[in-house]
Structure 1
Amino acid sequence: MTPSRSEFITVRGLRTHVRHWGREGAPLIFMVHGWMDVGASFQFIVDDLAGDWHVIAPDWRGFGLTERAPGDTYYFPDYLGDLDAMLDHYSPDGPVNLLGHSMGGNIVGLYAGVRPERVRRLINLEGFGMKATRPEQAPAHYARWLDGLRQSVPLRTYPSLAAVAARLQKTNPRLSDRRAAFLAPHWSAPNDAGQFEILGDPAHKKAGPVLYRVEEVMACWSAITAPVLWVEAEHTNMWEWLGPKEQARAEVDRRLGHLQQVQTAMMADAGHMLHHDQPAALARLIEGFL
């Protein structure tokens, strides 16, 4: 495996963990992970990169080794603020190659429209977005958020790293034993009772108060000036978030129509965690695009 190093920086008041691979001063690829994941998740793609790159992958607030946010709700715009601060820290003088998976793909898609001058090329791995909402859903949605504030949402613990690895493979049956064993100690840590806890703030599992406003997101996508590589997985389960597959396919294609320069690709024999399932093929696709 390509060796990595960790560092901690302060990002908007939070102690933030950042993982690095490759040579300082080499062309930069900034990679951001999805929901309930960590920066180390990109290890397998990095292992298959053929070129000379400096890859930087942070843990988002409340995930991995990054400090949890104060309060009881995670607001999506905070991820944009964190990303902006991190890019100012690591690449203050020039645009970056920016890659995001799932939730991270949604974040980088918004960011590239808000700060188009900061992005050289954009790679979105399965960052479809959420189902469109209507204003009249707001009262019930706010009520759900208020109800959630009264409840605790503990995360399950596991007796061993082997059990954590087995849990990862239950979610993704394509994940090999070797890769699951690598991810388990990055994805969890032992608590005082000797049980392994997932490194994610349980507050992430609660509904936020703000509806997903798809046309606002599309306005940001329309403002992206960087070339975009859009990658989907053949066996993704992300349709569950968007509705029946045929209807969801039409909506995804509609959203892609807001991108000025987009190259699309379908990753065969891969599920939503395509960077775990087909890292070699994905690495070739990424390098060809960059």
Structure 2
Amino acid sequence: MYSALRIPRSEFVPVRHLRYHVRQWGTPSPDRAPLVLLHGWMDVAASWQFVVDAMAEERHIVAPDWRGFGLTDGGEVDNYWMPDYLADLDWLLDHFAGDTPIDLVGHSMGGNLAMQYAGIRPQRVRRLVNLEGFGMPLLKPEQAPERYGKWIDELKRLHRGEMDLQGYADVQGVARRLMKTNPRLSQDKADWLASHWAAPQVQADGSTRWQILGTAAHKVINANIFRVDEALALYAAIAAPVLAVEASDDSLARWGGRYTLAEYHERLKSVPDARVAVVQDAGHMLHHDQPQQVARLIEDFLR
């Protein structure tokens, strides 16, 4: 199994009505705000371990488990809204950074949130690295009625138990799932991630299954449509330099032409100071596939 080089510690922080789990590496410094790492959808803060280990520099690093993921409370809700994550992040930065601007890195959903947050609170972000946080395809207002209907239907399916997350007989089954989703993931990393991405839970029949550390409510779509004009307004308000990092495999190909890299690059033109970098031989989970490349890009940019 993969052996972590930098050993993290856990802290639980009260955030609004939740008990937020935060993973940390390094020692806090009164002269320097932490590097904050934001994980993606159906992921956990521990997912950053490979990149943290690949970094040349020792510094204080903070990585929260988003609400309803990892060891952070889910809040006993049946769906999640993007603005809640943004408010949660603001609370966390009050605790860990105070008024000192941070360096912010986000992957996928975490990258999207990092971009939005940097537009909402530009004074709190010194530099921003967005790993494959592309945003969403354009949705038109006339799609709203169907979307609201789908949201209600999915809530009903959730309450009937039809959207429950799959369990696994053992941790090896979790590792196999991770490797199936990401064929580049090596066995040693898969084994390590599996023990942080899932945990054994006793079932109603008394048996034990390994369950993913994420609530099924995350699978329910947001009722509101994605507004590109709103996203561009947030991008335009970003004061920090932005490094937008892509994997060499085109992750947006999954949208079947409904959203392309060219469209994403066009959106990035709204960011006052943005540049693009590509990680070679990597897919969407580029921080697992090529942690050394990702760590080098982050550290060079933050300098």
Query: Does residue 86 of structure 1 match 2:92?
Result: yes
* Residue of structure 2 equivalent to 1:137: 143
Counterpart code for 2:26 = G
Alpha-carbon shift at residue 27 of structure 1 (Å): 5.1
Alignment length (residue pairs)? 288
Tell whether the 8 Å contact from 1:238 to 1:272 is kept in structure 2 after alignment.
no
Asked if structure 2 preserves the Cα contact closer than 8 Å seen for 1:233 and 1:266, the reply is yes
2:24–2:63 CA contact under 8 A, matched in 1: yes
Task: Give the AA of the match of 1:231.
Answer: V
CA distance in 2, matches of 1:281, 1:134: 38
Aligned match of 1:219: 233
Residue 32 of structure 1 is matched in structure 2 by 38
Among candidates 237, 256, 278, match of residue 266 of structure 1 = 278
| Cα deviation digits, residues 37-56 of structure 1 (max 9, x gap) | 00000000000111121111
How far did residue 24 of structure 1 move?
2.0
Q: Which of these residues, 7, 12, 21, is aligned with residue 8 of structure 1?
A: 12
Q: Which residue of 2 aligns with 1:287?
A: 299
- 1:168 and 2:182 aligned: no
The match for 1:189 is 199
Cα displacement string for residues 155-201 of structure 1 (whole angstroms, at most 9, x for unaligned residues):
11001111100100000010011111110111001111211000000
Aligned twin of 2:116: 110
Structure 2 counterpart SS, 1:196: strand
Asked if residue 23 in structure 1 is aligned to residue 23 in structure 2, the reply is no
Q: Which amino acid is the alignment partner of residue 143 of structure 1?
A: G
| 1:256 to partner: Cα distance | 1.0
Give distance in 1, aligned partners of 2:58 and 2:221: 41
Q: Distance in 1 between matches of 2:132 and 2:265?
A: 13
Amino acid at match of 1:210: N
SS at structure 2 position matched to 1:235: coil
Q: Summarize the Cα distance change of 1:137–1:34 in structure 2 as closer, same or farther, 3 Å threshold.
A: same
Q: Of the candidates 25, 49, 53, which is equivalent to residue 43 of structure 1?
A: 49
2:187 paired with 1:177: yes
Counterpart code for 1:181:
D
After TM superposition, give the deviation of residue 249 of structure 1 in Å: 2.3
Given that 2:77 and 2:217 are in contact with CA atoms closer than 8 Å, whether structure 1 keeps it comes out as: no
1:123-160 C-alpha deviation (Å, 9 max, x unpaired) = 00000000011111110000001111111211110011
Which of 259, 266, 269 is the equivalent residue of 1:254? 266
Post-superposition offset of 1:3: 0.6
Structure 2 CA distance for aligned equivalents of residues 160 and 136 of structure 1: 46
Counterpart Cα distance in 1 of 2:23 and 2:253? 31
What letter is aligned with 1:57? A
Deviations 1:88-142 (A, max 9, x none): 1100121000000000000010000000000000000000000011111110000
TM-score, normalised to structure 2, is 0.93
* Structure 1 residue 23, shift from structure 2 partner: 1.8
Amino acid at match of 1:249: L
Match in the other structure for 2:133? 127
Conservation of the 8 A alpha-carbon contact between 2:80 and 2:218: yes
Task: State the alpha-carbon separation in 1 of the partners of residues 56 and 214 from structure 2.
Answer: 32
Aligned 1:52-63 pairs, distance under 5 A: 52-63=58-69
* Residue of structure 1 equivalent to 2:251: 237
Instruction: Kindly state the Cα deviation for residue 35 of structure 1 after the two structures are TM-superposed.
Output: 0.2
Q: Which runs of 5+ in 2 are unaligned?
A: none
CA distance in 2, matches of 1:167, 1:102: 19
Give the TM-score normalised by structure 1: 0.97
- CA displacement at 1:239 relative to structure 2: 2.9
Q: Deviations over 1:235-287 (max 9, x none)?
A: 1433324x428x61221111111111112101000000000000011111111
CA distance in 2, matches of 1:71, 1:238: 30
Letter in 2 for 1:211: I
Q: Secondary structure at the match of 1:264?
A: strand
